[in-house]
């Protein structure tokens, strides 16, 4: 694909963090290994990484094994979405037909700012009113090299609108020679969803990104430490809400996640500590919320771009916790 040549993708680097995860209050984590998503040198307007969601490309044939650490699709990218997009967006009709089937809903996603960038986590259960439609869905979708979005609500809506957003951001970058900021992308998404207000479209997304250059590019270091770093977090909802903030959790499991996050999130956390907090919040929420469960995905967005931690099955964590407490596992 032409964009691939323009971007001149290099070898993917595996970025391993120090294994000293000792002093966080939530017990030992099983390795905070991050895999670098893609080489994100901040060079020039043509450098725009178009993510290939690997759940769409790679053959998942593993016959029961947990997926090994994999470099996220630097080599392949999907066929140009512009070719297969229907000429018009779905027309919102005020007269809604009662549907005979339920849509996929229910989730726990969270994101917060800290000194190392933005920490993003989500569960992987996709449920359809009582049936788990997919135990291994992806709720954190990369939009470009420095922007990641969480999805909550109807998975079809979130997947498609993220694609549209990625396309519009890329067009903006080509036309104006610079990347859109996170709050700008949030505004764009909110404006695009506005005509569908009142319909059954259901999208609750947090856009987590890094704005500006590697050093947080030319911002006034004001009172707020996050204005020095380029980390930025915006919540966008299909009913028109658009909020900028430092901590968000979205979905049916969010109340449970908020309790962990309110206790544990501080600006000065190290990357390992922040990973532990995020993971713990999702773990507790999946325990209490019926519509969240299965595995947890953790991403981090920093000045180098986004990196992803290996997907972890929370079932193992539950058994480890039972052992720690000295109770026999049920």
Partner 1 sequence: ITFGDPGKMRDYHYTGPVEHRFSPYSFNGGTVLAVAGEDFAIVASDTRLSEGYSIHSRDSPKCYKLTDTTVVGCSGFHGDCLTLTKIIDARLKMYKHSNNKTMTSGAIAAMLSTILYGRRFFPYYVYNIIGGLDEHGKGAVYSFDPVGSYQRDTYKAGGSASAMLQPLLDNQIGFKNMEGVQHVPLTQEKAVQLVKDVFISAAERDVYTGDALRVCIITKEGISEQTVPLRKD
44 Rama sector, left if φ>0, alpha if ψ -120 to 50, beta otherwise: left
Does position 2 interact with partner 1 (CB under 8 A)? The reply is: no
CB of 326 to partner 1, least distance (A): 22
Q: Give the DSSP letter string of 138-199.
A: --EEEEETTEEEE--B-HHHHHHHHHHHHHHHHHHHHHHSSPPPHHHHHHHHHHHHGGGTTS
Out of 1, 6, 19, 92, point to the residue binding partner 1 (CB under 8 A). Answer: 92
CA atoms within 13 Å, Cβ hemisphere of 86: 5
Stretch that binds partner 1, among 6-14, 54-62, 246-254, 304-312 (CB under 8 A): 54-62
For the annotated catalytic residues, the residue numbers are 107
Question: Of 191-210, which residues contact partner 1 (CB under 8 A)?
Answer: 199-201
Out of 91, 218, 222, 328, point to the residue binding partner 1 (CB under 8 A). Answer: 91
Nearer to partner 1 by C-beta: 45 or 171? 171
Out of 14, 56, 215, 290, point to the residue binding partner 1 (CB under 8 A). Answer: 56
CB of 63 to partner 1, least distance (A): 5
Instruction: At 8, list the tokens.
Output: 């001149």
CB atoms < 10 A from the CB of 307, how many?
25
CB of 197 to partner 1, least distance (A): 13
CB of 191 to partner 1, least distance (A): 18
Does position 238 interact with partner 1 (CB under 8 A)? The reply is: no
Question: Are the C-beta atoms of residues 278 and 258 closer than 8 Å to each other?
Answer: no
CA 246 to chain centre: 15
How far apart are the C-alpha atoms of 222 and 159, rounded to whole Å?
36
Number of DSSP helices (H) and strands (E) in the chain, helices first: 8, 15
Instruction: At 222, list the tokens.
Output: 């004001």
Nearer to partner 1 by C-beta: 17 or 134? 134
Does position 316 interact with partner 1 (CB under 8 A)? The reply is: no
Out of 5, 22, 65, 326, point to the residue binding partner 1 (CB under 8 A). Answer: 65
CB of 67 to partner 1, least distance (A): 11
Out of 107, 154, 273, 303, point to the residue binding partner 1 (CB under 8 A). Answer: 154
Nearer to partner 1 by C-beta: 12 or 164? 164
Does position 81 interact with partner 1 (CB under 8 A)? The reply is: yes
Residue 196 has what DSSP assignment? G
Going by C-alpha positions, the residue among 284, 266, 259 that lies closest to residue 112 is: 266
Does position 3 interact with partner 1 (CB under 8 A)? The reply is: no
Out of 9, 12, 35, 159, point to the residue binding partner 1 (CB under 8 A). Answer: 159
Stretch that binds partner 1, among 7-15, 129-137, 209-217, 322-330 (CB under 8 A): 129-137
CA atoms within 13 Å, Cβ hemisphere of 147: 27
Residue 153 has what DSSP assignment? B
Residue with tokens 């947890």: 296
SS3 123: strand
Nearer to partner 1 by C-beta: 67 or 219? 67
Does position 103 interact with partner 1 (CB under 8 A)? The reply is: yes
Angle, alpha carbons 25-137-146 (nearest 5°): 70
Nearer to partner 1 by C-beta: 6 or 131? 131
Chain positions contacting partner 1, by CB under 8 A:
55-65, 78-79, 81, 84-86, 88, 90-93, 96-101, 103-104, 126, 128, 131, 133-134, 137-138, 154-157, 159-160, 199-201
């Amino acid at each position: 694909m032409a964009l691939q040549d323009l971007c001149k993708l290099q070898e993917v680097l595996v970025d391993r963090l120090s294994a000293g995860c000792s002093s966080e209050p939530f017990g030992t984590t099983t390795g905070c290994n991050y895999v670098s998503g893609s080489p994100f040198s901040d060079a020039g307007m043509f450098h725009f990484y178009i993510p290939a969601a690997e759940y769409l490309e790679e053959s998942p044939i593993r016959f029961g094994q947990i997926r090994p650490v994999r470099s996220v699709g630097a080599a392949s990218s999907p066929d140009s979405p512009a070719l297969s997009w229907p000429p018009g967006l779905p027309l919102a009709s005020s007269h809604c037909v009662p549907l005979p089937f339920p849509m996929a809903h229910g989730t726990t996603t969270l994101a917060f700012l800290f000194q190392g960038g933005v920490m993003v986590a989500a569960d992987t259960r996709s449920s359809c009113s009582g049936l788990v439609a997919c135990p291994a869905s992806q709720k954190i979708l990369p939009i470009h090299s420095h922007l990641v979005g969480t999805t909550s609500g109807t998975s079809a809506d979130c997947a498609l609108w993220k694609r549209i957003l990625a396309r519009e951001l890329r067009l903006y970058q080509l036309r104006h020679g610079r990347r859109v900021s996170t709050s700008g992308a949030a505004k764009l998404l909110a404006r695009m969803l506005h005509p569908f207000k009142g319909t059954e479209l259901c999208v609750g997304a947090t856009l987590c990104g890094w704005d500006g250059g590697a050093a947080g590019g030319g911002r006034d270091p004001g009172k707020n430490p996050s204005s020095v770093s380029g980390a930025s977090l915006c919540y966008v909802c299909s009913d028109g809400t658009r909020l900028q903030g430092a901590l968000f959790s979205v979905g049916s499991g969010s109340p449970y996640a908020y309790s962990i996050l309110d206790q544990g999130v501080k600006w000065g956390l190290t990357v390992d500590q922040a990973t532990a907090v995020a993971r713990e919040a999702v773990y507790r929420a999946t325990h209490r919320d019926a519509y969240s469960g299965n595995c947890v995905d953790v991403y981090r967005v920093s000045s180098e771009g986004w990196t992803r931690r290996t997907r972890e099955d929370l079932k193992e964590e539950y058994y480890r916790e039972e052992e720690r407490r000295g109770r026999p596992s049920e």
